[in-house]
Chain A
Amino acid sequence: MLGLNGRDTTLLVIVAALALLAPFILNPFPTDSGLAQFNAGYPDLMQRFAIFGIFVIGFNILFGLTGYLSFGHAAFLGVGSYAAVWIFKLFTYNVVPAILFSVVIGAIFALAIGFISLRRSGIYFSILTLAFAQMSFALAYSVLSNPKFNLTNGETGLQVYADDPQMFHGDHLPNLPHLFGLSMRANYEMSVGAWDFNFNAGYYVCAALLLIMFYLSMRIFRSPFGMMLRAIKSNQTRMTYTGLNARPYALAAFVISGMYAGLAGGLMAAVDPLAGAERMQWTASGEVVLMAILGGTGTLIGPILGAGFIKYFENIFSKINDNVLHGWFAFLPDGLEDFIVAILHPFIGKGWHLTLGILFMLVVIFLPGGLVEGGQRIGRLFRRKSGKDDAEKATQSTPAE
């Protein structure tokens, strides 16, 4: 179906089902129960799952296939956001032109930065991309925000003001980003028994784009172009002496991943119409690297899992505070309760990075192939019966999932 083989079609259908049913799947606990804080089915978080999913799928086309580790991808995300907000300010709150423009701007930046950075490989390439991203951050944070020429509005962040031109804005349209009149904040809450489920327009726009982008990345993975990108990672010497020019292939992958990042940035602005420089900082670039590695670099589904994993734990662990812990351990004697809460304290709330760091270490040490490898191992446990089959497959290469 759609030019995919059976297994890929199944994968696409699974991802589509997960994306469309996310409001149910992510809200398994009744609203009033103590476990409700583990629910992730609220619009803001679901949007972030989809947006970072797009970001990391694009990143994986570069890093997973060619092996070029970019440490500056947040720059493209940031310029995508600024581009979208400028469209909101100057023309219209409709998200379609804003998103298209952010993809174009992402591509232009990626072309320029990639053209220079790809002259080097390995660690030097990573450092070059990092340098460009930090320069973009500095430009956005201060240089391009002075009274004479204010492109980014510096520290405050770029946002839409009442006196902005908004040439094509009509009175009948929502005063917020919208899709042909449907506000991105439009939300339908469905109550079933003790459960509340949120259906949010912004989320479904992001999810639809996530599916399209996932499908495109699948096609790229299975194409001759994708094979060339894997050849770059595998052996550039052989590639060159086979008559192939590796540079334009790598640049094409870089620009494609920059467009994905620009799209993600545009969507961030579409669900919340402001753009800040901190989106371009190196920590944001590092986060997408973590997502890709955690999920499984070079696999199709891995990066999405990684993005979901990190964004989920970021939200959940940062919400838990000492009071919540006291509630959980109330059954223990007082002294012991305080002791345990004191030990866990650094790992929750603002300390969630610590927890994430430990989880990341565990995954990298025990599952070098990321969460996807974890899934494959579990799958193998269930397929022990056909043990002979597996031994045979182990010597053959498993195509990227």
Chain B
Amino acid sequence: MGILEVKNVNKRFGGLQALGDVNLSVEENSVHAIIGPNGAGKSTLLNVLIGKLAPDTGSVLFDGQSVLGRKPYEINQMGISRVFQTPEIFGDLTVLENMMIPIFAKRDGAFRMRALESSVNEKEVLEQAGEMLESLNMADKRHFHSASMSRGDKRRLEIGMCLAQNPRLLLLDEPTAGMARADTNNTIDLLKQIHDERDITIAIIEHDMHVVFSLAQRITVLAQGSPLVEDTPDKIKGHPKVREAYLGESA
């Protein structure tokens, strides 16, 4: 059984069947990509996984526990971290503060009042945040205003913030959308490095075939709300159904 099990998930928006009988199993410590043409239901599926949308029927199990009906922050506390299409970071805060917040969240839980302690005395948190920034090669930017950084750096920081919590599953939603080639390649390298160094499962939703075939060990192709095929990258590349779904787009 995989770490993430999606079973018979259906979701309708009025007359549109956004997800129809989706079954998906993500193996622990694998990199699993979900691809598909526009409107295939990739984003809807992701929103179901993180608790933003409730499916009409079906179940989603993470490590044997249902995630349905839980709030997004509870799902994060279970060990699922999410990276967004546009980097979501704390733009008004410094890079170091951005890195401290997820570490506080991991240590203190969803809410803990520490109003009279001083942040600069949190040696352990500062140390962890510093190490994380070091490993991202961002240590020299720790006092930067995070909103002033490049898109690539923001993405790096966001991934780092997720990793600082030691998640078991990292969900990425088109992590390289709108990035220059160099930034895209850096992100691919970073994700490869993360996967090599840690016990972590990565599920990635992506348009860019270069990214998908560089990273994924397993690929699920969604079309019109349902999984078309699931296989290894080599098999997917030449699959006639996939070619058909993409209408001749080079896959």
* Nearest CB of B to A323, in Å: 51
B94 to A242, Cβ gap below 8 A? no
Which residues of B38-93 have CB atoms within 8 Å of chain A's CB atoms?
Answer: 50, 71-73, 76-77, 81-82, 84, 88-93
Distance A254 CA – B144 CA, assembled complex (angstroms): 30
Residue A227 CB within 8 A of the other chain: yes
B89 to A238, Cβ gap below 8 A? yes
Distance A390 CA – B79 CA, assembled complex (angstroms): 42
Enumerate chain A residues within 8 angstroms of B100, measured Cβ to Cβ. Answer: 224, 227
Query: Assuming the A-B contacts A227-B97, A235-B90, are A242 and B115 also in contact, with contact meaning beta carbons closer than 8 angstroms in the complex?
Result: no
Residue B106 CB within 8 A of the other chain: yes
Distance A177 CA – B209 CA, assembled complex (angstroms): 77
Enumerate chain B residues within 8 angstroms of A242, measured Cβ to Cβ. Answer: 73, 76, 101-102, 105, 161, 165
Residue B17 CB within 8 A of the other chain: no
Distance A227 CA – B99 CA, assembled complex (angstroms): 12
Query: Assuming the A-B contacts A235-B90, A238-B90, are A248 and B82 also in contact, with contact meaning beta carbons closer than 8 angstroms in the complex?
Result: no
* Nearest CB of B to A253, in Å: 9
Distance A3 CA – B116 CA, assembled complex (angstroms): 9
B111 to A240, Cβ gap below 8 A? no
Residue A325 CB within 8 A of the other chain: no
Distance A316 CA – B245 CA, assembled complex (angstroms): 76
Q: What are the 9 tightest A-B residue pairs by CB atom distance, in nearest-first order?
A: A243-B76, A397-B145, A245-B110, A225-B115, A234-B90, A234-B92, A238-B88, A243-B105, A224-B114
Enumerate chain B residues within 8 angstroms of A219, measured Cβ to Cβ. Answer: 115-116, 118
B50 to A241, Cβ gap below 8 A? yes
- Scan A38-74; emit 1 where CB is below 8 A from any B CB, else 0: 0000000000000000000000000000000000000
Residue B104 CB within 8 A of the other chain: yes
Indicate which residue in A223, A230, A233, A248 contacts B118 across the interface (CB closer than 8 Å): A223
B82, B92, B106, B143 — which one has the most chain A CB atoms within 10 A of its CB?
Answer: B92
| Interchain Cβ contacts under 8 Å between A and B, 23 examples | A3-B118, A5-B120, A222-B119, A222-B120, A223-B116, A224-B114, A224-B117, A224-B119, A226-B115, A230-B90, A231-B93, A234-B92, A240-B73, A241-B76, A241-B82, A242-B102, A243-B73, A243-B77, A244-B110, A248-B111, A249-B111, A397-B94, A397-B143
* Nearest CB of B to A228, in Å: 7
A243 to B165, Cβ gap below 8 A? yes
Residue B16 CB within 8 A of the other chain: no
Distance A222 CA – B100 CA, assembled complex (angstroms): 13
* Nearest CB of B to A236, in Å: 10
Distance A193 CA – B82 CA, assembled complex (angstroms): 71
Enumerate chain B residues within 8 angstroms of A33, measured Cβ to Cβ. Answer: none
In the complex, residue of chain B having the shortest beta-carbon distance to the beta carbon of A224: B114
Residue A20 CB within 8 A of the other chain: no
Query: Assuming the A-B contacts A222-B120, A227-B100, A234-B93, are A241 and B81 also in contact, with contact meaning beta carbons closer than 8 angstroms in the complex?
Result: yes
B89 to A396, Cβ gap below 8 A? no
Distance A356 CA – B145 CA, assembled complex (angstroms): 34
* Nearest CB of B to A5, in Å: 7
Enumerate chain A residues within 8 angstroms of B118, measured Cβ to Cβ. Answer: 3, 219, 222-223
Indicate which residue in A3, A225, A226, A230 contacts B92 across the interface (CB closer than 8 Å): A230
Indicate which residue in A238, A241, A248, A395 contacts B145 across the interface (CB closer than 8 Å): A395
In the complex, residue of chain A having the shortest beta-carbon distance to the beta carbon of B94: A397
Indicate which residue in B72, B97, B102, B145 contacts A240 across the interface (CB closer than 8 Å): B72
* Nearest CB of B to A11, in Å: 15
B110 to A224, Cβ gap below 8 A? no
Indicate which residue in A223, A244, A248 contacts B101 across the interface (CB closer than 8 Å): A244
Enumerate chain A residues within 8 angstroms of B93, measured Cβ to Cβ. Answer: 227, 230-231, 234, 397
Residue A220 CB within 8 A of the other chain: yes
Enumerate chain B residues within 8 angstroms of A249, measured Cβ to Cβ. Answer: 111
Enumerate chain B residues within 8 angstroms of A241, measured Cβ to Cβ. Answer: 50, 72-73, 76, 81-82, 84, 88
